[in-house]
């Protein structure tokens, strides 16, 4: 049973990667289309093959020359965008199935080594991205999110894959479920926040100098992006605070001290400090806008550093990468 589930899990991971790639392409096409000047071709459904003879017809639509550029959340989304979201949902379902199968095969939560951390954390990132659509239209982050997930999940599947092995006793704790899950959830929110902040930086540059890709005109204003980023990062920050506290409680049970300046502990704290700085920057004159956006980007870079470099190359008590 274990081996069967493990095999299916791997198949699901690679299928998810393939569909994510389709989603990434479709998201990119959507952005490219937004870059087209108004009045030119704005919607182009891909090549539709007719069932009978394999004849291909391209459907072209023209908008009236005075039509405003299609914005997000207003009007009917373009075909590539609808396709992209569809692909993302399908890929995510496969992705979640992969994680669940892995968990069933291992008879524990699927996050106990580097491959499994990557598998589950990226699924949570995409889950947060999809869920956030019910709150705000953030589909313009699709290229960034799918690109990010393809990279991370791809590297994890190819380079970090390890067969299922039982949990060492130090990980046999309810805190493994809570601590790691909430950390991944926080990472998901920080990822979206960083994406919004990057968009904000581009948008701010366009608003002041007019430079930058044309699709930016279809995105919310820099001020709106900043507000969205702030709200997303606040949620991430609460989860991160909880992660630190839960980690300390667990460390007390497992290692006999709640804080020991372990490399992972230090980096998690540094990240907490950066985002605390970000939140304070918002309340400080002169630090709003692009400066605080940079802090959000630096903070998320530190999260990724903590997840990859610290896990793989730093010695410490959190050496559970299994590599």
Partner 1 sequence: MQFKSDNPDLYPILDSLQVFNTYSSVWFSAIYLLLFISLIGCIIPRTRHHLAALRTRPPRTPARLERLTGFTSITATADAATALDTGAALLKRQGYRIERFDGSVSAERGYLRETGNLVFHTALVGVLVAVGFGGGFGFSGQRVVVEGQKFVNVLGDYDSFNPGRFFSTDALTPYRLELDSFDVTYETENKNAIGLPTYFSANVDTTDADGNTDTASIKVNSPLSIGNSEVYLLGNGYAPVLTVRDPEGKVVWTDEVPFLPQDAQLTSVGIIKVPDGLAEQVGMIGLFYPTVKTLESGALASTFPDLNDPMLTLRVYTGDLGLDAGIPRSVYALDPAGLGLTAIAGGDADVESLQLGIGDTVEIPGGLGTIEMSEVKRFASFDVHHDPSQLWVLGFAILILGGLLTGLFVPRRRVWIKVKQQDDGQVVLEYAGLARGEDPGLENAVTDIAAKHSQQLGLKLNS
Residues forming contacts to partner 1 in the complex (CB under 8 A) are 162-170, 172-173, 227, 230-231, 234, 237-238, 241-242, 245, 248-249, 252-259, 261, 279, 282
Closest to partner 1 by CB, 75 or 166: 166
Closest distance between partner 1 and the C-beta of residue 246, in Å?
A: 10
Closest distance between partner 1 and the C-beta of residue 230, in Å?
A: 7
Closest to partner 1 by CB, 61 or 107: 107
Task: Say how many C-beta atoms besides its own lie within 10 A of residue 65's C-beta.
Answer: 8
In 3D, which of 28, 24, 11 has the Cα closest to residue 150?
24
Closest to partner 1 by CB, 96 or 164: 164
Strands 56-61 and 43-49: antiparallel
Task: Say how many C-beta atoms besides its own lie within 10 A of residue 181's C-beta.
Answer: 18
Q: CB under 8 Å to 265, separation ≥6 — which residues?
A: 247, 251, 259, 318
Closest distance between partner 1 and the C-beta of residue 175, in Å?
A: 8
Backbone angles phi, psi at 44, to 5 degrees: -140, 110
Closest to partner 1 by CB, 45 or 241: 241
Closest to partner 1 by CB, 40 or 165: 165
Closest distance between partner 1 and the C-beta of residue 320, in Å?
A: 12
Closest distance between partner 1 and the C-beta of residue 173, in Å?
A: 5
Q: Kindly tell me the burial class for residue 23, based on how many C-beta atoms sit within 10 Å of its own C-beta (0-12, 13-18, 19 or more).
A: buried
Number of C-alpha atoms within 13 angstroms, CB side, residue 100?
A: 6
């Amino acid at each position: 049973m274990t081996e069967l589930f493990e095999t299916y899990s791997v198949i699901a991971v690679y299928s998810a990667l393939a569909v994510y790639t389709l989603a990434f392409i479709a998201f990119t096409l959507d952005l490219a289309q937004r870059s087209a000047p108004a009045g030119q071709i704005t919607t182009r459904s891909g090549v539709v093959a007719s069932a009978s003879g394999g004849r291909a017809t391209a459907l072209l639509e023209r908008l009236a020359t005075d039509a405003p550029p299609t914005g997000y959340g207003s009007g009917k989304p373009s075909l590539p965008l609808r396709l992209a979201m569809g692909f993302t949902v399908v890929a995510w379902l496969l992705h979640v199935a992969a994680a669940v199968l892995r968990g069933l095969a291992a008879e524990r939560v699927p996050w106990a080594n580097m491959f499994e951390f990557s598998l589950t954390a990226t699924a949570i990132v995409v889950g947060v991205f999809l869920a956030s659509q019910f709150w705000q239209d953030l589909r313009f982050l699709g290229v960034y999110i799918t690109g990010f997930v393809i990279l991370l999940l791809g590297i994890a599947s190819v380079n970090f894959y390890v067969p299922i092995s039982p949990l060492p006793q130090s990980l046999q704790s309810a805190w493994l479920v809570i601590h790691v899950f909430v950390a991944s959830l926080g990472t998901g929110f920080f990822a979206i926040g960083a994406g919004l902040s990057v968009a904000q930086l581009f948008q701010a540059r366009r608003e002041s100098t007019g430079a930058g890709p044309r699709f930016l005109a279809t995105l919310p204003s820099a001020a709106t992006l900043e507000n969205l980023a702030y709200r997303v990062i606040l949620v991430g920050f609460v989860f991160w605070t909880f992660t630190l506290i839960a980690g300390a409680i667990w460390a007390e049970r497992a290692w006999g001290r709640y804080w020991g300046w372990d490399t992972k502990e230090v980096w998690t704290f540094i990240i907490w400090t950066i985002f605390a700085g970000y939140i304070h920057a918002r309340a400080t004159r002169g630090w709003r806008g692009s400066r605080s956006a940079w802090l959000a980007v630096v903070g998320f870079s530190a999260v990724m550093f903590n997840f990859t470099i610290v896990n793989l190359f730093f010695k410490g008590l959190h050496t559970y990468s299994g590599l």
